[in-house]
Structure 1
Amino acid sequence: MGDDLLVTNITRIKKSINENSSNAVLLKPNPIGSLSETSAAFKMAKDAGWGAVMSHRSGETEDTTIADLAVAWE
């Protein structure tokens, strides 16, 4: 799981795919900045045969956006 190594960054994910240094990505929409970039990271990971896990970062909320994305993208 390339968590802090990849930080939902498609450039880092691509490098990790090429180096075979991970097999899954923890997707964090907040640090990358947009849902579009998060979606691109998800697609890249899935196309490489990787697992992908949505993360809400730290803290709790009643907002269901992350859960909705996890269901929609799976």
Structure 2
Amino acid sequence: MGVHEWARQQIEQSLQQAPAQGFDPALGLRALLGAVVERSRGERDAKDLAAELQFLADNLDDERDYGFMRP
């Protein structure tokens, strides 16, 4: 198992517990994202983290074609 699959499994496990705590899954995801960013600040340079977050935000659209992709 790769690190990305491991992370997805961790998120799924956390989200399965959210309703028992009375949390909406969207709110749970938002809180998890905030916690990951907060924790990442202790491990990474803020500029590097911001650049990665911006890249992820810029690439949210699965239907978008990118200039570096070949037709």
* TM-score, scaled to structure 2: 0.35
Give 1 or 2 for the bigger CA radius of gyration: 2
More helix by share: 2
Question: Normalization by structure 1: what TM-score?
Answer: 0.35
Higher relative contact order (CA 8 A, sep 6+): 1
